[in-house]
């Protein structure tokens, strides 16, 4: 084995003779059984779902789609926008219906469950669902907000990464994708989900 400096950069090159054999390196085996995908019905969520579907098929893992309905505690009465139980029930019902459609779009390709939760913050509910469900991996999309929008709104993805009990794969809006979604799968998802 020889180490030498690269010609055009500050990099170092490791040269191995062709007849040399290195002992094999034992790598830990990845074992995914449950994948959590938070869904907010955006394009980034759809992209995260495609990643989860790829991992689910590869590892024969179950996929849990989760939608969180955030509610805020009511402030003082003059400023309060009262959301009665009927409105909340309708919101929960419509979210469950739409999440069910997302589930149906991929259920033939992997084991998929769907769940709708209510909570004060989406990231706390995602972390709680991951802990309760013994989740091995969370795959979520991010809006990629920066600057003032990030400061005021915050990043659910960032908070999930910080507090999750398992590894988190964040799928950005514009990135180099490492999955190759088949055109047929993409067409099916787009046609079924609108």
Model pLDDT, residue 86:
73
Model pLDDT, residue 31:
86
> Which one has a higher pLDDT value, 26 or 52?
52
Model pLDDT, residue 155:
81
pTM, two decimals, is 0.71
Cβ-contact 71, 122 below 8 angstroms: no
Radius of gyration of the chain (CA): 22
C-alpha–C-alpha distance, residues 120 and 118, integer Å: 7
CB atoms within 10 A of CB 63: 24
| Most confident segment among 84-98, 108-122, 125-139, 165-179 | 125-139
* Residue 49 CB-density burial (10 A; 0-12 exposed, 13-18 middle, 19+ buried): buried
| Most confident segment among 9-13, 113-117, 172-176 | 113-117
The full set of domain ranges for the chain reads 30-193
C-alpha–C-alpha distance, residues 94 and 176, integer Å: 34
DSSP class per residue in 2-32: EEEE-SSSS-EEEE--TT--PPPPPPPPP--
Chain-wide mean pLDDT for the chain?
A: 78
Model pLDDT, residue 152:
43
* Fold adopted by 30-193: Rossmann fold (3.40.50)
Residue 182, pLDDT above cutoff 60: no
Model pLDDT, residue 110:
84
Mean pLDDT computed over 58-82? 74
Residue 158, pLDDT above cutoff 80: yes
C-alpha–C-alpha distance, residues 145 and 163, integer Å: 20
Model pLDDT, residue 191:
63
């Amino acid at each position: 084995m020889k180490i030498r400096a690269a010609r055009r950069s500050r990099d170092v090159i490791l040269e191995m003779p062709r007849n040399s054999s290195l002992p094999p390196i034992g790598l830990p085996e990845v074992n995914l059984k449950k994948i959590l995908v938070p869904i907010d019905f955006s394009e980034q969520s759809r992209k995260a779902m495609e990643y989860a579907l790829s991992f689910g098929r590869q590892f024969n893992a179950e996929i849990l789609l989760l939608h969180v309905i955030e509610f805020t505690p009511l402030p003082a009465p003059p400023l309060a926008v009262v959301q009665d139980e009927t409105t909340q029930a309708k919101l929960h019902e419509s979210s469950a219906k739409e999440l069910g459609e997302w589930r149906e779009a991929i259920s033939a390709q992997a084991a998929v469950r769907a769940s709708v939760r209510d909570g004060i913050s989406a990231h706390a509910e995602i972390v709680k669902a991951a802990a309760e469900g013994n989740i091995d991996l969370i795959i979520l999309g991010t809006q990629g907000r920066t600057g003032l929008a990030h400061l005021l709104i915050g990043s659910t993805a960032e908070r999930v990464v910080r507090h999750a009990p398992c590894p988190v794969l964040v799928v950005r809006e514009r990135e180099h994708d490492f999955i190759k979604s088949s055109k047929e799968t993409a067409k099916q998802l787009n046609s079924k989900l609108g």
